[in-house]
Structure 1
């Protein structure tokens, strides 16, 4: 490890295997993704960690993607007591919430899993438009869109976790 590692990245690199696995599981529920990212420790720079995350997302099987998606709440219904979930879905206003939840159920019927989108920085209207656009996708197309969105979410969460002050 070089001195260019941030204190948060250094903590992640030096964490016991169990603690690192827990942090990674909080980022992404896929065990395969977490194992692949953990196996690359130590990371000299955040960019190295993010590149490992990207490679691990690309390597996920359909079952691994399913496991990852199972860890995400529906858009419009952040996980209770989870500030990250609330922050990520902060762009959803009351006006869009009911419509997002209704369309998410339709999407789940069509695709067998929650609608996954990187909500950070998107408004409720933008997420509704994406949901309406994607609901009719064939399974292969949608799986690759989900893979891309999962990669974005993981990058944001990893960045945030390695830059957080634990105090």
Structure 2
């Protein structure tokens, strides 16, 4: 997808393109309202601005669009049409040992039980061990602090995905 292509899509197609970056309907609608974009920088600024004004429910909706870190089956199911975006982002997990994958799975379960949503981390450039250590560290956060951290991680992810729209 290029920015020029995005600008010329009809609203439904543009919405689908944005869903590959983030599934929050409020975020998608806010970004769509500002089309067309003169350059990628203006799209990215708008994406950040809209993101920063979302409500808790919108963040939680966005988190639902993510596979669990290290869950290969979840990656395949949720991102079958995304050009392997999430699989590439989580490539550090592909090299992990079975014991580390199990540690991630256990941590994910504890995290979801504690906070009510899956662990969100911008996995790009991180090893499985780094993600596991971040997960275990963030389990100590209070719910409000953790929601803000998870939202910031989601913002980083959507920005990385938008950067690919050269």
TM-score (norm 2): 0.90
What's the CA shift for 1:56? 1.4
What's the CA shift for 1:134? 0.3
TM-score (norm 1): 0.89
Counterpart position of 2:57? 63
The whole-number CA distance in structure 1 between the counterparts of 2:102 and 2:49 is: 36
What root-mean-square deviation, in Å, do the aligned CA atoms of Structure 1 and Structure 2 show?
A: 1.3
What's the CA shift for 1:90? 0.2
Secondary structure of 1:117's counterpart equals: coil
Worse-matched range after superposition: 79-88 or 58-67: 79-88
Counterpart position of 2:89? 88
What's the CA shift for 1:94? 3.0
What's the CA shift for 1:119? 0.4
What's the CA shift for 1:99? 1.0
How many pairs were matched up? 156
Counterpart position of 1:3? none
1:57–1:150 contact (8 Å) kept in structure 2: no
* Structure 1 unaligned spans of 5+: 1-6
What's the CA shift for 1:76? 0.5
Would you identify which runs of 4 or more consecutive aligned residues in structure 1 move more than 2 Å?
none
Secondary structure of 1:72's counterpart equals: coil
* Structure 2 unaligned spans of 5+: none
